Homo-oligomer: A and B are copies of this chain.
Amino acid sequence: MTLPQLDPVSLVDLQGPVRERLGRVEVEMRRMIEENFPLISEVNHHLLRMRGKMFRPTLALLADEATGGTGATAERFAAILELIHLATLVHDDSVDHSALRRGMPTINAVFSHQVSVIMGDFLYSRAVVELVRMGSLDALRVLARVTNEMTVGEMRQLLAHDPLTFTEEQYDLLIRAKTASLISGACEVGGLGAPAAEREALARFGEKLGMAFQIVDDLLDYTADARVTGKPTGLDLREHKVTLPLIHALPRFSAAERGQIDALMANPEPSEAQIAAVVQAVEEHGGLDYARDRASRIMAQADEELERLPPSPAREVLRASLGYVLERRR
Protein backbone atom coordinates (compact mmCIF):
# COMPACT_ATOMS: atom_id res chain seq x y z
CA MET A 1 0.00 0.00 0.00
CA THR A 2 1.39 3.39 -0.97
CA LEU A 3 0.57 6.15 1.43
CA PRO A 4 0.87 9.71 0.18
CA GLN A 5 3.72 11.73 1.62
CA LEU A 6 1.78 14.39 3.45
CA ASP A 7 3.19 17.33 5.29
CA PRO A 8 1.05 18.74 8.05
CA VAL A 9 -0.50 21.95 6.80
CA SER A 10 -2.73 24.56 8.40
CA LEU A 11 -5.97 25.84 6.94
CA VAL A 12 -4.36 29.27 6.77
CA ASP A 13 -1.73 27.82 4.44
CA LEU A 14 -4.38 26.20 2.26
CA GLN A 15 -6.35 29.40 2.05
CA GLY A 16 -3.37 31.57 1.14
CA PRO A 17 -3.83 31.29 -2.64
CA VAL A 18 -7.57 32.07 -2.45
CA ARG A 19 -7.56 34.51 0.48
CA GLU A 20 -8.77 37.46 -1.57
CA ARG A 21 -11.50 35.42 -3.20
CA LEU A 22 -12.67 34.14 0.19
CA GLY A 23 -13.18 37.75 1.19
CA ARG A 24 -15.55 38.14 -1.74
CA VAL A 25 -17.29 34.89 -0.75
CA GLU A 26 -18.04 36.41 2.64
CA VAL A 27 -19.48 39.52 1.02
CA GLU A 28 -21.68 37.28 -1.14
CA MET A 29 -22.84 35.35 1.93
CA ARG A 30 -23.85 38.54 3.70
CA ARG A 31 -25.82 39.67 0.67
CA MET A 32 -27.55 36.32 0.28
CA ILE A 33 -28.86 36.03 3.81
CA GLU A 34 -29.74 39.67 4.31
CA GLU A 35 -33.37 40.01 5.31
CA ASN A 36 -35.26 43.04 6.48
CA PHE A 37 -36.57 41.37 9.60
CA PRO A 38 -35.02 42.06 13.00
CA LEU A 39 -34.93 38.53 14.46
CA ILE A 40 -33.45 37.08 11.26
CA SER A 41 -30.78 39.81 11.13
CA GLU A 42 -29.87 39.08 14.72
CA VAL A 43 -29.49 35.35 14.06
CA ASN A 44 -27.55 36.06 10.86
CA HIS A 45 -25.18 38.28 12.79
CA HIS A 46 -24.55 35.49 15.27
CA LEU A 47 -24.12 32.93 12.48
CA LEU A 48 -21.61 35.03 10.59
CA ARG A 49 -19.55 35.36 13.76
CA MET A 50 -19.47 31.59 14.26
CA ARG A 51 -19.08 31.12 10.52
CA GLY A 52 -16.10 28.96 11.04
CA LYS A 53 -13.33 27.90 8.83
CA MET A 54 -14.72 28.16 5.31
CA PHE A 55 -13.24 24.78 4.46
CA ARG A 56 -15.87 23.97 1.82
CA PRO A 57 -15.65 27.35 0.05
CA THR A 58 -11.86 26.97 0.06
CA LEU A 59 -12.12 23.59 -1.66
CA ALA A 60 -14.59 24.95 -4.22
CA LEU A 61 -12.30 27.84 -5.11
CA LEU A 62 -9.25 25.58 -5.36
CA ALA A 63 -11.19 23.15 -7.56
CA ASP A 64 -12.22 26.11 -9.69
CA GLU A 65 -8.62 27.25 -10.09
CA ALA A 66 -7.37 23.72 -10.74
CA THR A 67 -9.76 23.50 -13.68
CA GLY A 68 -9.22 26.84 -15.33
CA GLY A 69 -11.10 29.26 -13.10
CA THR A 70 -14.48 30.89 -13.62
CA GLY A 71 -14.12 33.98 -11.43
CA ALA A 72 -17.23 35.32 -9.77
CA THR A 73 -19.33 32.25 -10.56
CA ALA A 74 -17.23 29.99 -8.34
CA GLU A 75 -17.28 32.58 -5.57
CA ARG A 76 -21.07 32.60 -5.56
CA PHE A 77 -21.16 28.81 -5.56
CA ALA A 78 -18.70 28.86 -2.65
CA ALA A 79 -20.95 31.23 -0.70
CA ILE A 80 -23.97 29.00 -1.37
CA LEU A 81 -22.02 25.94 -0.21
CA GLU A 82 -21.23 27.63 3.08
CA LEU A 83 -24.90 28.63 3.50
CA ILE A 84 -25.92 25.01 3.04
CA HIS A 85 -23.23 23.97 5.51
CA LEU A 86 -24.49 26.55 8.03
CA ALA A 87 -28.07 25.34 7.54
CA THR A 88 -27.06 21.78 8.36
CA LEU A 89 -25.03 22.88 11.40
CA VAL A 90 -27.97 24.84 12.76
CA HIS A 91 -30.32 21.86 12.37
CA ASP A 92 -27.72 19.38 13.67
CA ASP A 93 -27.20 21.44 16.81
CA SER A 94 -30.95 21.60 17.27
CA VAL A 95 -31.31 17.83 16.77
CA ASP A 96 -28.43 17.14 19.17
CA HIS A 97 -29.45 19.85 21.65
CA SER A 98 -25.85 21.06 21.48
CA ALA A 99 -25.05 24.17 23.48
CA LEU A 100 -21.69 25.02 21.96
CA ARG A 101 -20.21 25.00 18.46
CA ARG A 102 -16.60 26.08 17.91
CA GLY A 103 -16.59 27.54 21.39
CA MET A 104 -19.59 29.76 20.64
CA PRO A 105 -23.14 29.27 21.89
CA THR A 106 -25.38 27.60 19.28
CA ILE A 107 -28.50 29.20 17.81
CA ASN A 108 -30.71 26.86 19.83
CA ALA A 109 -28.85 27.91 22.99
CA VAL A 110 -28.90 31.68 22.33
CA PHE A 111 -32.34 31.89 20.75
CA SER A 112 -34.47 28.77 20.90
CA HIS A 113 -35.14 25.43 19.37
CA GLN A 114 -37.89 27.05 17.31
CA VAL A 115 -35.59 29.71 15.90
CA SER A 116 -33.05 27.00 14.99
CA VAL A 117 -35.50 24.94 13.00
CA ILE A 118 -36.81 27.98 11.16
CA MET A 119 -33.37 29.52 10.52
CA GLY A 120 -32.03 26.26 9.10
CA ASP A 121 -34.97 26.26 6.70
CA PHE A 122 -34.39 29.92 5.93
CA LEU A 123 -30.71 29.40 5.09
CA TYR A 124 -31.32 26.33 2.96
CA SER A 125 -34.20 27.83 1.02
CA ARG A 126 -32.17 31.01 0.51
CA ALA A 127 -29.35 28.86 -0.89
CA VAL A 128 -31.80 27.32 -3.38
CA VAL A 129 -33.09 30.78 -4.33
CA GLU A 130 -29.51 31.84 -5.11
CA LEU A 131 -28.77 28.69 -7.11
CA VAL A 132 -31.90 29.27 -9.16
CA ARG A 133 -30.89 32.88 -9.69
CA MET A 134 -27.57 31.65 -11.10
CA GLY A 135 -29.56 29.50 -13.51
CA SER A 136 -27.27 26.50 -13.19
CA LEU A 137 -29.28 23.30 -13.27
CA ASP A 138 -25.98 21.40 -12.99
CA ALA A 139 -25.09 22.99 -9.67
CA LEU A 140 -28.68 22.55 -8.49
CA ARG A 141 -28.53 18.89 -9.40
CA VAL A 142 -25.33 18.31 -7.43
CA LEU A 143 -26.34 20.28 -4.37
CA ALA A 144 -29.95 19.09 -4.17
CA ARG A 145 -28.73 15.49 -4.23
CA VAL A 146 -26.04 16.22 -1.66
CA THR A 147 -28.46 17.96 0.68
CA ASN A 148 -30.89 15.08 0.46
CA GLU A 149 -28.08 12.62 1.15
CA MET A 150 -27.13 14.60 4.23
CA THR A 151 -30.64 14.22 5.65
CA VAL A 152 -30.45 10.46 5.13
CA GLY A 153 -27.06 10.59 6.87
CA GLU A 154 -28.62 12.40 9.81
CA MET A 155 -31.26 9.70 10.00
CA ARG A 156 -28.52 7.07 10.03
CA GLN A 157 -26.83 8.98 12.82
CA LEU A 158 -29.92 8.56 14.97
CA LEU A 159 -29.51 4.81 14.67
CA ALA A 160 -25.76 4.75 15.32
CA HIS A 161 -26.24 4.17 19.03
CA ASP A 162 -26.15 0.41 19.25
CA PRO A 163 -22.57 -0.88 19.15
CA LEU A 164 -23.72 -4.47 18.76
CA THR A 165 -25.49 -3.85 15.49
CA PHE A 166 -23.72 -0.85 13.96
CA THR A 167 -21.29 -2.18 11.39
CA GLU A 168 -18.33 -0.65 9.60
CA GLU A 169 -20.36 -0.78 6.40
CA GLN A 170 -23.13 1.25 8.02
CA TYR A 171 -20.53 3.62 9.45
CA ASP A 172 -19.17 4.16 5.94
CA LEU A 173 -22.66 4.90 4.63
CA LEU A 174 -23.17 7.32 7.51
CA ILE A 175 -19.99 9.36 7.07
CA ARG A 176 -20.33 9.34 3.30
CA ALA A 177 -23.81 10.86 3.60
CA LYS A 178 -23.25 13.10 6.60
CA THR A 179 -19.84 14.59 5.82
CA ALA A 180 -18.34 13.42 2.55
CA SER A 181 -21.31 14.33 0.35
CA LEU A 182 -21.10 18.11 0.86
CA ILE A 183 -17.29 18.15 0.65
CA SER A 184 -17.60 16.15 -2.58
CA GLY A 185 -20.25 18.62 -3.75
CA ALA A 186 -17.92 21.53 -2.99
CA CYS A 187 -15.16 20.06 -5.12
CA GLU A 188 -17.53 19.07 -7.93
CA VAL A 189 -19.34 22.43 -8.09
CA GLY A 190 -15.96 24.20 -8.06
CA GLY A 191 -15.03 22.19 -11.16
CA LEU A 192 -18.39 22.44 -12.87
CA GLY A 193 -16.93 24.09 -15.95
CA ALA A 194 -14.32 21.36 -16.49
CA PRO A 195 -14.55 18.31 -18.79
CA ALA A 196 -16.58 15.45 -17.27
CA ALA A 197 -13.53 13.33 -16.43
CA GLU A 198 -11.98 16.11 -14.33
CA ARG A 199 -15.25 17.04 -12.72
CA GLU A 200 -15.91 13.44 -11.72
CA ALA A 201 -12.35 13.07 -10.40
CA LEU A 202 -12.92 16.16 -8.26
CA ALA A 203 -16.19 14.71 -6.94
CA ARG A 204 -14.43 11.45 -6.00
CA PHE A 205 -11.48 13.35 -4.52
CA GLY A 206 -13.91 15.32 -2.34
CA GLU A 207 -15.72 12.20 -1.25
CA LYS A 208 -12.50 10.50 -0.13
CA LEU A 209 -11.26 13.67 1.51
CA GLY A 210 -14.58 14.02 3.34
CA MET A 211 -14.56 10.43 4.55
CA ALA A 212 -11.01 10.73 5.84
CA PHE A 213 -11.98 14.05 7.44
CA GLN A 214 -14.80 12.42 9.38
CA ILE A 215 -12.77 9.37 10.41
CA VAL A 216 -10.07 11.68 11.76
CA ASP A 217 -12.74 13.75 13.51
CA ASP A 218 -14.09 10.61 15.16
CA LEU A 219 -10.54 9.55 16.09
CA LEU A 220 -9.87 12.93 17.66
CA ASP A 221 -12.79 12.29 19.95
CA TYR A 222 -10.76 9.39 21.40
CA THR A 223 -7.36 10.99 21.42
CA ALA A 224 -7.46 14.74 21.47
CA ASP A 225 -6.63 17.16 24.16
CA ALA A 226 -9.69 19.20 25.07
CA ARG A 227 -7.50 22.29 25.26
CA VAL A 228 -6.67 21.93 21.57
CA THR A 229 -10.01 20.90 20.06
CA GLY A 230 -12.32 22.79 22.40
CA LYS A 231 -14.33 19.59 22.83
CA PRO A 232 -13.96 17.21 25.77
CA THR A 233 -12.48 13.79 24.95
CA GLY A 234 -15.05 11.01 24.71
CA LEU A 235 -17.94 13.29 23.77
CA ASP A 236 -19.23 10.79 21.22
CA LEU A 237 -19.20 7.99 23.80
CA ARG A 238 -20.90 10.29 26.26
CA GLU A 239 -23.65 10.80 23.66
CA HIS A 240 -23.66 7.07 22.86
CA LYS A 241 -22.38 7.60 19.35
CA VAL A 242 -20.62 4.58 17.91
CA THR A 243 -17.74 5.37 15.55
CA LEU A 244 -15.05 3.44 13.71
CA PRO A 245 -12.54 2.85 16.55
CA LEU A 246 -15.21 1.20 18.71
CA ILE A 247 -16.72 -0.75 15.79
CA HIS A 248 -13.33 -2.25 15.05
CA ALA A 249 -12.34 -2.97 18.65
CA LEU A 250 -15.66 -4.31 19.93
CA PRO A 251 -15.39 -7.92 18.63
CA ARG A 252 -12.01 -8.08 20.40
CA PHE A 253 -13.39 -6.93 23.78
CA SER A 254 -13.14 -9.26 26.79
CA ALA A 255 -16.35 -10.16 28.61
CA ALA A 256 -15.49 -7.59 31.26
CA GLU A 257 -14.91 -4.88 28.66
CA ARG A 258 -18.16 -5.82 26.96
CA GLY A 259 -19.86 -5.32 30.30
CA GLN A 260 -18.30 -1.85 30.51
CA ILE A 261 -19.53 -0.69 27.12
CA ASP A 262 -22.99 -2.11 27.82
CA ALA A 263 -23.14 -0.21 31.10
CA LEU A 264 -21.97 3.00 29.41
CA MET A 265 -24.63 2.70 26.71
CA ALA A 266 -27.30 2.01 29.32
CA ASN A 267 -26.33 5.06 31.36
CA PRO A 268 -27.97 8.30 30.13
CA GLU A 269 -25.06 10.24 31.63
CA PRO A 270 -21.94 8.06 31.56
CA SER A 271 -19.28 8.89 34.14
CA GLU A 272 -15.74 10.03 33.27
CA ALA A 273 -14.48 6.71 34.59
CA GLN A 274 -16.83 4.72 32.36
CA ILE A 275 -15.73 6.71 29.33
CA ALA A 276 -12.03 6.42 30.19
CA ALA A 277 -12.32 2.63 30.58
CA VAL A 278 -13.93 2.21 27.15
CA VAL A 279 -11.44 4.59 25.51
CA GLN A 280 -8.64 2.49 26.95
CA ALA A 281 -10.17 -0.79 25.78
CA VAL A 282 -10.68 0.61 22.29
CA GLU A 283 -7.06 1.72 22.15
CA GLU A 284 -5.71 -1.59 23.52
CA HIS A 285 -7.60 -3.59 20.94
CA GLY A 286 -6.24 -1.55 18.07
CA GLY A 287 -9.35 0.52 17.32
CA LEU A 288 -7.39 3.76 17.01
CA ASP A 289 -4.64 2.24 14.85
CA TYR A 290 -7.23 0.68 12.60
CA ALA A 291 -9.09 3.98 12.11
CA ARG A 292 -5.82 5.83 11.47
CA ASP A 293 -4.88 3.25 8.89
CA ARG A 294 -8.24 3.46 7.14
CA ALA A 295 -8.04 7.25 7.01
CA SER A 296 -4.56 6.98 5.46
CA ARG A 297 -5.69 4.50 2.85
CA ILE A 298 -8.65 6.66 1.89
CA MET A 299 -6.39 9.70 1.64
CA ALA A 300 -4.11 7.75 -0.70
CA GLN A 301 -7.11 7.10 -2.94
CA ALA A 302 -8.00 10.79 -2.84
CA ASP A 303 -4.45 11.64 -3.79
CA GLU A 304 -4.67 9.38 -6.84
CA GLU A 305 -7.80 11.11 -8.10
CA LEU A 306 -5.87 14.35 -8.39
CA GLU A 307 -3.64 12.76 -11.01
CA ARG A 308 -6.58 13.06 -13.40
CA LEU A 309 -6.36 16.86 -13.24
CA PRO A 310 -3.83 18.82 -15.30
CA PRO A 311 -0.83 19.86 -13.21
CA SER A 312 -1.28 23.28 -11.59
CA PRO A 313 -0.42 25.09 -8.38
CA ALA A 314 -4.07 24.84 -7.28
CA ARG A 315 -4.01 21.06 -7.76
CA GLU A 316 -1.05 20.88 -5.40
CA VAL A 317 -2.89 22.95 -2.81
CA LEU A 318 -5.80 20.52 -3.09
CA ARG A 319 -3.28 17.76 -2.48
CA ALA A 320 -2.03 19.68 0.54
CA SER A 321 -5.57 19.76 1.92
CA LEU A 322 -5.04 16.06 2.65
CA GLY A 323 -2.20 17.19 4.90
CA TYR A 324 -4.63 19.51 6.65
CA VAL A 325 -6.77 16.49 7.50
CA LEU A 326 -3.60 14.78 8.73
CA GLU A 327 -2.66 17.82 10.79
CA ARG A 328 -6.02 17.80 12.52
CA ARG A 329 -5.20 14.24 13.58
CA ARG A 330 -2.35 15.37 15.76
Chain B nearest CB from A140 CB (Å) reads 5
Other contacts beyond A91-B117, A135-B137, A140-B140: 15, CB < 8 A: A37-B152, A91-B121, A95-B113, A118-B155, A119-B155, A121-B151, A121-B154, A124-B125, A125-B151, A128-B140, A128-B148, A129-B145, A131-B144, A132-B137, A132-B140
How many copies of this kind of chain does the complex include? 2
- Tell me which of B37, B135, B156 contacts A37 (CB under 8 A): B156
Q: With the chains together, A114 CA to B95 CA distance in Å?
A: 5
- Give chain B residues whose Cβ lies under 8 Å from the Cβ of A95: 113-114, 117-118
What's the tally of chain A residues with a CB closer than 8 Å to chain B? 40
17 contacts across the A-B interface (CB closer than 8 A): A35-B152, A40-B152, A91-B118, A95-B113, A95-B114, A115-B155, A115-B158, A119-B155, A121-B151, A122-B148, A125-B144, A125-B150, A128-B140, A129-B145, A131-B144, A133-B141, A137-B137
- Give chain B residues whose Cβ lies under 8 Å from the Cβ of A133: 141
When C-beta atoms are compared, the residue in chain B nearest to A156 turns out to be B37
Assuming A117-B95, A117-B117, A152-B35, is B125 touching A147 (CB within 8 A)? Answer: yes
Is A94 interfacial (CB 8 A cutoff)? yes
Q: With the chains together, A245 CA to B192 CA distance in Å?
A: 53
Is A126 interfacial (CB 8 A cutoff)? yes
Q: With the chains together, A313 CA to B126 CA distance in Å?
A: 38
| Cβ–Cβ contact A152 & B122, under 8 A | yes
Q: With the chains together, A35 CA to B155 CA distance in Å?
A: 11
- Per-position binary interface string of chain A over residues 101-132, scored 1 when its CB falls under 8 Å from any chain B CB and 0 otherwise: 00000000000011101111110111011011
